[in-house]
Chain A
Amino acid sequence: MSEAVRSTRSAAASSHVEAAASYRQTGRTASGRRIQLEARGLKKSYFKAGHEIPVLRGVNLTVQQGEFLAVIGQSGSGKSTLLHLLATLDGADAGEVWLDGMRIDNLPRRRRDALRNRKLGMIFQFYHLLPELTALENVLAPLMIAHGLWSWLRHRRSHVQNARRLLEQVGLGQRWQHLPRELSGGEMQRTAIARALAPGPAVLLADEPTGNLDQHTGAEIMQLLRSLNRQHGLTIVMVTHDLANAQQAHRVVRLVEGRIESA
């Protein structure tokens, strides 16, 4: 199992280089599936009023390609922080993040930006849509960021088609012209999912995607994520505090006191 691999890896922390080398050669875990995303010994503390508050105390996590992993934990257990570190939005105090056999946390800022743009889709509890843009434009936003003005204008038609298709896929085919404030919570989250999927990412990082939705709508969103995972083989890492939601994933791990425990 991957857990086993992970534990041996962490045990052999001193022989990181060799492990990485073998991983790079095969790109596969013991189970035969490729490892897509991996966290190795991630540590992160915050400083508040001069006191160090450790949040992550050495998180090891391996996500296989096509896996739907749920990370559960109580509020303040560092779930979001872990996700931010995986997305390279924040830097860890110690530890490494690997994506598709490449260490990504120590890349130059611009490469990390590009990676986040193309490979890592993110959705959030509060949807985080840009309020000035319509649903369609929100979905197009990562593509616009990826392209300069001229290349955007050249490929605009295919991008728009792609985005319309994604919106249809998440069930918002008719509402693409609406602004976020004209959409319901569930619709906003669907738009956010479509946006995360627009560049064709390797991994979808979901931060409490149902946290702000009622049970029914939340279930719909979970349904959507599951079907994306199943039909398109999308790797999903979801953090949540809701065990019921978490249990719809392939695998659930628990974040307790800054460390991962298998659930």
Chain B
Amino acid sequence: MYKYLLCWRYLRSRYIALASIVSVTLGVATMIVVNAVMAGFAREMQQRLHNILSDVVLESHSLEGFRDPEWHMELMQRAAGDDIERMVAAVHVPAMLSFQYGGRGEWITRPVTLIGIDDEAPEQAAEFRQYLQHPQNRKQFSFRLRDGGYDVYDHQAQDRGTPRPEMRHAGWTHRRRMAELRRAAAQFGRQSPDASSQQGAHDHRAAEDEQSSTPSVPDDAELRGGDTARPAQRPSRAARSADPFARGGTERRFDPRTEQHTGLVMGIGLASFRLEATDRFLLLPGDDVRLTFPTAGTPPRAVDDTFTIVDFYESKMSEYDSSLVFVPLRRLQELRGMIEPETGIGYVTSIQIKLKPGRELNQVRDKLRALFPPQLYSVSTWRDKQGALLAAVHMETAILNVLLFLIIAVAGFGILAIFFMIVVEKTRDIGILKSLGAGGRGIMGIFLFYGLLLGLVGSGAGMVLGLAFTQNINAIADALGRLTGRPVFDPDIYYFYEIPALIEWPTVTWIVLGALGIAALASVLPARRAARLHPVEALRYE
């Protein structure tokens, strides 16, 4: 009984011991935070990767693709039909995205990965739909431009976050407005034939930005509002020439106010940039862009076509958000010459395979690999594709854990030293207790229990601190960012817009137990020394 009372009193009177435990507290807190962030990061990334990439992909090595995806699907269905939930054919091709920006007639070109997807397929990747910006598109996707109602607030963020006011006008509203502006500009151009397109473009913006009364100071106007960053698009010749192709060759003049080109979904990172923690848009749903990509023949020729942006794709994986562009599969096949004229059978470059839940990825992959010659096809799982990234995250977590646990071990030596000091300080008390009939075990118990209690206090405080920190990690990061004037977690650099954190209770338990164990172990040696003190010498100790 006396053990517990004395431990309690020592705990309350020896603040130096509490100081030694601070390092345990900090170590535990840091480990919890780091593990939570790494686990959150890994989970988030896996989820996103898995949502973006399908379970297993069959790809051709050639951009030309392979003929007759239905035949391939049937083959795979026969081999591994039990495992496969559904299959979707797609065309992946590198492309150049060009659009006009800022109304100055400047063309911006960016390399993208163009993906032709089958929008007719009923449950065409629910995973793909969930990243779109129009609520209707998330339910039932179509490549047709919506009237409006695009998300102004990021639907994936927990809180509403910073708004994207420009998205309010996106859709047909924006398209009609732009068309009106272009028409007005064209008329203006006719009135003064020597006016350059650049001058005309200035006026578009001036008209658009009602507050701007000084079109002669374009930079100023451009900086003032996000709206000015919108492109003023000239009705392009390419658009007109490509249009009849899409609409069965009618000679009717294309009216951008009521008509759209082929729909296109664009990674949001391609259309926007971040300025002072808000998204500013170069393009909006309703704008037209041009895509240039190689045909399937040999040698490939470049073809181009005009598309209308109907939605943005935001997976929060900046790698994908700033490179992927989705168009209707059939249209892409037509443009690339991937349809046999006689039979109408198409070519595709990949088949995305979704497995039934709980199937072993690698097993199915190996089954499918056996079906196709490896010289022409590759079959890989999503883990294969991003395996290096996932392995790197796990490796990082492991190394950090080792290092942080070493910190706690260092704290253990601090406890050891301070406990020796306390034993020396308490030598006479130990003698007194022995003269009162306390045994060596009892004395040892005092210090072991004391060590355990300190460990409990230290790791308990560390746990509370770590969990509290993890819960509020984004608020803390924001506050630090404000304090230092430099964002701690810059979403432009990382994959996510906020720091993901996942508290895994088994991990927390292990960390706390480990810290407790170290504190208890560190107190064993001093406790043994205390137990072995000779009572007479201890009593004589001054």
- Cα(A112)–Cα(B9), bound, Å: 27
- Min CB distance, B528 to chain A, in Å? 15
Q: Does B393 contact A (CB under 8 A)?
A: no
Residue of B nearest to A110 (CB): B439
From B439, which residue of chain A is reached at the shortest CB distance?
A: A113
Given A128-B428, A130-B429, A109 and B439 touching (CB < 8 A)?
yes
Collect the chain A residues with CB atoms within 8 Å of residue B1's CB.
144-145, 147-149, 152-153
- Tell yes or no: A132 within 8 A of B by CB: yes
B436 and A89: CB pair below 8 A?
no
- The CA-CA distance from A128 to B4 in the complex, in Å, is 20
Asked if B437 lies at the interface with its beta carbon under 8 angstroms from chain A, I say: yes
Q: Cβ of B298 < 8 Å from any Cβ of A?
A: no
**Is A13's CB within 8 Å of the partner chain B?**
no
Q: Is A133 an interface residue (CB 8 A)?
A: yes
Q: Is there contact, CB below 8 Å, between B437 and A89?
A: no
B 425-444 binary contact with A (CB < 8 Å = 1; else 0):
00011011111111110100
Given known contacts A89-B536, A128-B432, A132-B13, A145 and B438 CB-to-CB distance under 8 angstroms? yes
Structural contact, B436 and A116, CB atoms closer than 8 A: yes
Please name all residues of chain B whose beta carbon is closer than 8 Å to the beta carbon of A195 when the two chains form the complex. 436
* Residue B421 lies at the interface, judged by CB distance under 8 Å to chain A: no
Count of chain A residues near B, Cβ 8 A: 33
Select B436's contact among A90, A141, A153, beta carbons within 8 Å: A141
Interface flags for A129-152 (1: CB within 8 Å of B; 0: not) read: 111110001000110111111001
Min distance, Cβ B480 to any Cβ of chain A, angstroms: 42
Contact (Cβ within 8 A) B437 A130: no
Evaluate contact between B429 and A124: CB separation under 8 angstroms.
Answer: no
Query: Quick check: B440 and A109 within 8 Å, CB to CB?
Result: yes
B5 within 8 A of A: yes
- Whether, in the assembled complex, A164 has its beta carbon less than 8 Å from a beta carbon of chain B, the answer is no
Q: Are A133 and B432 in contact (CB under 8 A)?
A: no
Q: Contact flags (1/0) for B1-42 with A, using CB distance below 8 Å?
A: 110111001100100000000000000000000000000000
- Residues of chain B with a CB closer than 8 A to A115's CB: 437
B400 is an interface residue with CB less than 8 A from chain A: no
Which residues of chain B are near A79, meaning CB under 8 Å? none
* B535 interface hit (Cβ, 8 Å): yes
Chain A contacts for B2, CB-based, 8 A: 141, 144-145
A249 at the interface (CB under 8 A from B): no
Any A CB within 8 A of the CB of B539: yes
Complex: how many Å from CA A142 to CA B432? 10
Q: Point out the residues of chain A lying under 8 angstroms from B431, CB to CB.
A: 128
Q: Are B438 and A113 in contact (CB under 8 A)?
A: yes
- A84 touches which of B5, B6, B438, B536 (Cβ 8 Å): B536
Residues of B within 8 A of A129 (CB): 432
B429 touches A145 (CB 8 A): no
Contact digits for A99-120, partner B, Cβ 8 Å, 1 yes 0 no:
0000000000110011111100
Q: Select one of B9, B433, B440, B536 contacting A145, CB under 8 A.
A: B433
- Contact partners of A141 in chain B: CB under 8 A: 2, 433, 436
Check A133–B440 contact: CB distance below 8 A.
Answer: no
Which residue from chain B places its CB closest to the CB of A117 in the assembled complex? Answer: B437
Please name all residues of chain B whose beta carbon is closer than 8 Å to the beta carbon of A116 when the two chains form the complex: 435-437
Instruction: Identify which of B431, B432, B440, B535 gathers the most chain A CB atoms within 10 Å of its CB.
Output: B432
Docked Cα-Cα span, A204 to B1, in Å, equals 24
Chain B nearest Cβ from A61, distance in angstroms? 19
Cβ of A252 within 8 Å of any chain B Cβ, yes or no, is no
A131–B438 Cα gap in the complex (Å)? 17
Interface size class of B (residues with CB under 8 A): 20 to 34
When chains A and B are docked, how far (Å) is the Cα of A152 from the Cα of B3? 12
CB distance B9 to A142 under 8 Å? no
Across-interface contacts of B436 in A (CB, < 8 A):
116-117, 122, 141-142, 145, 195
- Judge if A206 is at the interface, Cβ distance under 8 Å: no
Known: A90-B536, A132-B13, A152-B1. A145 touches B6 (CB 8 A): no
Contact partners of A137 in chain B: CB under 8 A:
5
Considering the chains assembled together, what is the distance between the CA atoms of A118 and B436 in angstroms?
A: 9
Which residue of A is nearest B428, CB measured? A128
Measured in the bound complex, the distance between the Cα atoms of B261 and A245 in whole Å is: 117
Which residues of A are found within 8 Å of B442, using beta-carbon distances? 145
Per the bound structure, the CA–CA distance linking A118 and B94 in Å amounts to 91
Docked Cα-Cα span, A128 to B539, in Å, equals: 8
Within the assembled complex, what's the spacing in Å between the Cα atoms of A118 and B434?
A: 13
- In the complex formed, the residue of A with least CB distance to B2 is A144
The smallest C-beta distance from B151 to any residue of chain A, in angstroms, reads 62
The answer to the question of A69 belonging to the interface, with a C-beta cut-off of 8 Å to chain B, is: no
Interface check A39, CB cutoff 8 A = no
Q: Hey, what's the 0/1 contact readout for B526-542 against A, CB within 8 Å counting as 1?
A: 00000000111001000
A89, A148, A153 interface centre (most CB from chain B within 10 Å): A89
A84, A89, A132: the one contacting B9 at CB < 8 Å is A132
Complex contacts, A128 vs chain B, CB 8 Å: 428, 431-432, 435, 539
Q: How far is the CA of A110 from the CA of B441 in the complex (A)?
A: 10
Contact yes or no, B4 A146, CB < 8 A: no
Residues of B within 8 A of A110 (CB): 439
**A114 CA / B13 CA spacing, docked (Å):** 29
Chain A residue with minimal CB distance to B537?
A90
Q: How far is the CA of A124 from the CA of B435 in the complex (A)?
A: 10
Docked complex Cα distance between A58 and B47 (Å): 86
A246 at the interface (CB under 8 A from B): no
Partner among A84, A145, A149 whose Cβ is within 8 Å of the Cβ of B4: A149
Which residue among A118, A129, A133 has the maximum number of chain B CB atoms within 10 Å of its CB?
A133
Contact with A along B506-542 (1 / 0, CB 8 A): 0000000000000000000000000000111001000
Q: Give the CA-CA distance A141 to B432 in the complex, in Å.
A: 10
Complex Cα gap A81–B4 (Å): 32
CA distance A89 to B433 in the complex (A): 11
B5 and A142 contacting across the interface, CB-CB below 8 Å: no
Expressed in whole angstroms, the Cα–Cα distance for A129 and B539 within the complex equals 11
Q: What's the least CB distance linking A204 to chain B, in Å? A: 13
Question: Can you give 30 A-B contacts (C-beta < 8 A)?
Answer: A81-B536, A84-B535, A84-B539, A87-B435, A89-B535, A89-B539, A90-B536, A113-B434, A113-B437, A113-B438, A115-B437, A116-B437, A117-B438, A128-B435, A130-B432, A130-B433, A132-B10, A133-B9, A141-B2, A141-B433, A144-B1, A145-B1, A145-B2, A145-B433, A145-B436, A145-B437, A145-B438, A147-B1, A149-B1, A153-B1
Using A89-B535, A133-B9, A145-B438 as known contacts, list a sample of 16 further A-B pairs with CB atoms less than 8 Å apart, ordered by residue number in A. Answer: A84-B539, A87-B435, A89-B435, A90-B536, A109-B439, A109-B440, A113-B434, A115-B437, A122-B435, A132-B13, A133-B5, A141-B433, A145-B1, A145-B433, A148-B1, A153-B1
Q: Which 7 A-B pairs have the closest CB atoms?
A: A117-B437, A132-B9, A144-B2, A152-B1, A144-B1, A116-B437, A113-B439
